[in-house]
Amino acid sequence: MLKIEMETELNDQLNAELYSSYLYLSMSAYFEEKGLSGFAHWMRIQSQEELHHGMKIYDYIVERGGKVTMKPIEGPQVEWDTPVAVFENVYLHEQKVTGLINNLVDVAFELRDHATSNFLQWFVTEQVEEEASASEVLAKSKMLGGEGNALFLLDKELGARLPVFSFPVKN
């Protein structure tokens, strides 16, 4: 059984993961509007990954006998000045999420909730990958100056990204 403080923190993180999914879907829509379908595809997969992260937390709360509390999701930003600005935002957002995950680990440690601490290690590892991925695309975007033919080459590269997760259906 989850302690109420841990349950509350996990529900807050569930909300944060759903917001991340919503934010990345907004970024995907921005890129669609700009005719950058590869960038849009990359962001759409990123949105799906964040939804998957949220569902992992949802399922964990249920499995531990806790109560899932759905909260309103704040509306995300919808406009950016350049593709580079989008990925600057992605990188900063992933750093923020890393801080949230680290805080969850700290709470689990303080509460001596070893099961939750163990569960959260997957997210710790995932955030290293998330920050590295965002940093890589940001660096490439900056090198290209955010415009011109080279941008379309990056668009093609990002369009080749494959989904990592499939969503399990609970019976």
59: domain CATH number?
1.20.1260.10
Span 107-142, pLDDT tens digits: 999 999 999 999 999 999 999 999 999 999 999 999
CB-based contacts of 109, cutoff 8 Å, min separation 6: 117
Would residue 144 count as lying in a domain?
yes
Domain assignment present for residue 89? The answer is yes
Asked if residue 31 is part of any domain, the answer here is yes
- Total-model pTM: 0.91
- Lowest average pLDDT, out of 3-7, 72-76, 124-128, 159-163, goes to 159-163
CA-wise closest residue to 42 among 130, 170, 143, 162: 162
Taking the C-alpha atoms of residue 52 and residue 166, their distance in angstroms, rounded to an integer, is 8
Residue 165 inside a domain? The answer is: no
**Residues 154, 36: contact at Cβ < 8 Å?**
no
In a domain, 46, yes or no: yes
Q: What is the pLDDT of residues 51-86, one digit of tens each?
A: 999 999 999 999 999 999 999 999 999 999 999 999
Tell me the C-alpha distance between 26 and 99, whole Å.
22
> What is the C-alpha radius of gyration for the chain, rounded to an integer number of angstroms?
17
**Cα 84 to Cα 6, 27, 127, distances in angstroms:** 37, 12, 21
Task: Examine residue 14 and state whether it is found in any structural domain, yes or no.
Answer: yes
Please state the separation of Cα 116 from the chain's center in Å.
Answer: 20
Q: What is the number of structural domains in the chain?
A: 1
Q: Rounded to 5 degrees, what are φ and ψ at 80?
A: -140, 160
Which tokens go with 95? 């750093």
Q: Does residue 167 fall inside a structural domain?
A: no
Q: Is residue 170 part of a domain?
A: no
> Per the structure block, which two tokens stand in for 74?
């704040």
The range of the structural domain enclosing residue 94 comes to 4-159
